[in-house]
Amino acid sequence: MGIKETIKEIKESNNFWVGLLRDFLFVLIVVAIFASISYIALGRFSPMVAVESKSMVPHLNIGDIIFIESPDRSKIITYEDGEKIGYLSFGNYGDVILYMRSGNEERTPIIHRAMYYVNKGEPMWPGGPTAPYEGYITKGDNNNTNPLYDQQGSVSYLQPVKKEWVIGVARFRPVPLIGCVSLTMRGNLACFNQ
């Protein structure tokens, strides 16, 4: 039996297991096509993340799906630079970045706005301590939950975000609430505690 005959037999079969195999192969092909297109467009096979906290309200909400572009594909524009050139992203100046806390891949990444960039030895904020190395000073947009820079509080205390810790830059418009499915499946009930 040739390949054409085998494909025809699988395509026309009424057998439950063959139908299940057909559906599985279809889903696999769709996922492969989506991953390939997202890698070509955004530089990442997995280009979406779900927002898990209120730290970016009112611009991003719990359960929003955000598309992330590889940092290799774009220049990160800070709030400070965005304000000078009129560049807005997610309702405010500068880019929103997804980064690993302290470079730790095991911890939940943070999605906050890159406020400005500091070099080693420069104060991290006016009157603040000097930066131990170069990196981004970041902050959530929600002034109620995040009144301070991440580097002033518990999010990334006294640690500017190194370029190599940046996972990606948020792009496009958020897709509301769809991320609640992913969060709930992982045991995070934040969508229900708003």
pTM of the model: 0.80
Q: What is the pLDDT of residue 157?
A: 94
Query: For residue 90, is pLDDT > 90?
Result: yes
Interatomic CA distance for residues 7 and 25, integer angstroms: 12
Domains of the chain: total: 2
Please answer whether residues 65 and 171 qualify as being in contact, where contact means their C-beta atoms are separated by less than 8 angstroms.
no
- 162-191 average pLDDT score: 89
- The reported pLDDT for the residue numbered 17 is 84
pLDDT at 194 over 90: no
Question: Does 187 lie in the same domain as 105?
Answer: yes
Tell me the per-residue pLDDT of 94-152, one tens digit each, with 9 for 90 and over. 999 999 999 998 999 999 999 999 999 999 999 999 999 999 999 999 999 999 999 99
- Is the pLDDT at 167 greater than 80, yes or no? yes
Question: Is the same domain home to 13 and 103?
Answer: no
Q: What pLDDT does residue 32 have?
A: 78
The pLDDT value given to residue 42: 62
What's the rounded mean pLDDT across residues 70-92? 95
Q: What is the pLDDT of residues 12-58, one digit of tens each?
A: 888 888 788 888 888 888 877 777 776 676 666 677 899 999 999 99
Q: At what angle do helices 3-12 and 16-42 cross, to 10 degrees?
A: 110
Q: Domain holding 111: CATH number?
A: 2.10.109.10
Nearest to 174 by CA among 63, 94, 77, 74: 63
Q: What per-residue confidence (pLDDT) applies to 38? A: 65
Task: Look at residue 191 and tell me whether its pLDDT is greater than 90.
Answer: no
* Same domain flag for 104 and 176: yes
**33 and 57 belong to one structural domain:** no
One domain for residues 76 and 136: yes
> Which of 7-16, 28-37, 154-163, 180-189 tops mean pLDDT?
154-163
Residue 110's nearest CA partner among 128, 129, 85, 137 is: 137
Say which residue, 169 or 26, is predicted with more confidence. 169
Which residue range forms the structural domain that includes residue 15? 3-42
Cα–Cα distance for residue pair 166/111, rounded to 1 Å: 10
Position 170 scores a pLDDT of: 95
Report the alpha-carbon distance of residue 35 to residue 141 in Å, rounded: 30
My answer on whether 60 and 116 are in the same domain is yes
